[in-house]
């Protein structure tokens, strides 16, 4: 989209020249009131929604964009599956995070606009330290957060070779893995490590890089306001130092 900026009186053009001049300028999203749908989930340092407040890297990044562009932003949290439905039905302006692979069947009949990659992540398997390196056969029961799809393990879970256990919250998933009730926990690796430290369980689970995992990016998405996504893309390109600093501050940069 194009942003029509007010033209100072001293520089106003005759009507015929005005139309030609506007065509020469790219249009970005104008300042707006924006409803951003987020996941009702503790997934820090990437994002979390606790006590009615959205926080983490996602909040810091989106707030910085909105502030620089003059947008007014409201965050509303939904359960994961409901959030995706809200995106497809146009009930929210933007969704964060998102990825084209997530709920692709649900999105099939809807045109979704994605931003440029926001931040890289690894979704993988964390196991007890003594089980690192034992291979795929050591995982008979895999746990994940309800609403997530362990893409790297889809063949195993769909064939029944690996039993999938879905937990309502990340801390419950970690407790199950530490207690040995499941063989492995599948989630964002940096998020699991942060949560382990918060729970006083540091080093009780370790990421096993030899087991199947996914390395991809989080994106901002919309089905209703592609101009906002274009505006966000432009802002990220213009503020690479600021984006990099926020990634370092929240420790979401991968080695």
The pLDDT tens digits of the residues spanning 136-169 come to: 999 999 999 998 989 999 999 999 999 999 999 8
> What is the rounded CA–CA span in Å between residue 246 and residue 239?
11
Do the domains at 33-119+218-249 and 121-215 have one common CATH topology?
yes
The CATH number of 121-215, from 3.40.190.10, 1.10.3720.10, 3.30.70.260, 2.40.110.10, is 3.40.190.10
Tens of pLDDT, residue by residue over 69-99, are 999 999 999 999 999 999 999 999 999 999 9
pLDDT grade for 32, boundaries at 50, 70 and 90: confident
The chain-wide mean pLDDT, for the chain, equals 89
State the average pLDDT over residues 117-126: 96
Position 23 pLDDT exceeds 80: no
Per residue in 48-59, pLDDT (tens digit) is: 998 889 999 999
Asked if the 33-119+218-249 domain carries CATH number 3.50.50.60, the reply is no
From CA 252, how far away is CA 242, in angstroms rounded?
14
HSE on the CB side for 73, CA within 13 Å? 24
Percent of the chain with pLDDT over 70: 87
Of 140, 152, 162, the C-alpha closest to 212 is 152
Q: Sorting pLDDT into bands at 50, 70 and 90, what band is 119? A: very high
Please give the Cα distance from 175 to 195 (Å, whole number): 11
C-alpha to C-alpha distance for 128 and 110, rounded to whole angstroms = 41
pLDDT of residue 31: 66
Total-model pTM: 0.82
In degrees and rounded to multiples of 5, residue 203 shows phi and psi of: 75, 0
Q: Say yes or no to pLDDT of 20 above 90.
A: no
Q: Is the model's pLDDT at 1 over the cut of 80? A: no
Domain boundaries, the chain: 33-119+218-249, 121-215
Of how many residues is the chain composed?
A: 255
Give the pLDDT of residue 21. 37
């Amino acid at each position: 989209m194009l942003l029509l900026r007010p033209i100072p009186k001293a520089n106003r053009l005759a009507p015929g020249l005005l139309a030609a001049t506007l065509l020469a300028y790219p249009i970005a999203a104008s300042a707006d009131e924006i409803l951003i749908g987020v996941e009702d989930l503790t997934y820090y340092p990437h994002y979390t929604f606790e006590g009615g407040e959205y926080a983490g890297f996602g909040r810091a990044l989106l707030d910085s964009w909105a502030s620089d562009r003059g947008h007014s932003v409201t965050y509303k949290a939904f359960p994961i599956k409901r959030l995706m439905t809200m995106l497809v039905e146009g009930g929210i302006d933007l969704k964060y995070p998102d990825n084209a692979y997530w709920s692709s069947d649900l999105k099939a009949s809807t045109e979704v606009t994605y931003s440029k990659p926001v931040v890289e992540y690894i979704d993988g398997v964390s196991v007890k330290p003594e089980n690192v390196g034992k291979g795929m056969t050591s995982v008979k029961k895999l746990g994940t957060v309800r609403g997530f799809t362990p893409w790297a393990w889809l063949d195993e879970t769909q064939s029944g070779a690996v039993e999938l256990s879905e937990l309502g919250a990340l801390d419950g998933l970690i407790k199950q893995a530490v207690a040995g009730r499941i063989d492995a926990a599948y989630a964002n690796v940096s998020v699991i490590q942060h949560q382990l430290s918060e729970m006083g369980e540091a080093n009780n689970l370790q990421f096993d890089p030899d087991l199947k995992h996914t390395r991809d990016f989080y994106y901002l998405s919309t089905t209703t306001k592609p101009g906002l996504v274009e505006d966000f893309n432009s802002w990220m390109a213009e503020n690479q130092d600021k984006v990099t600093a926020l990634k370092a501050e929240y420790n979401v940069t991968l080695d």
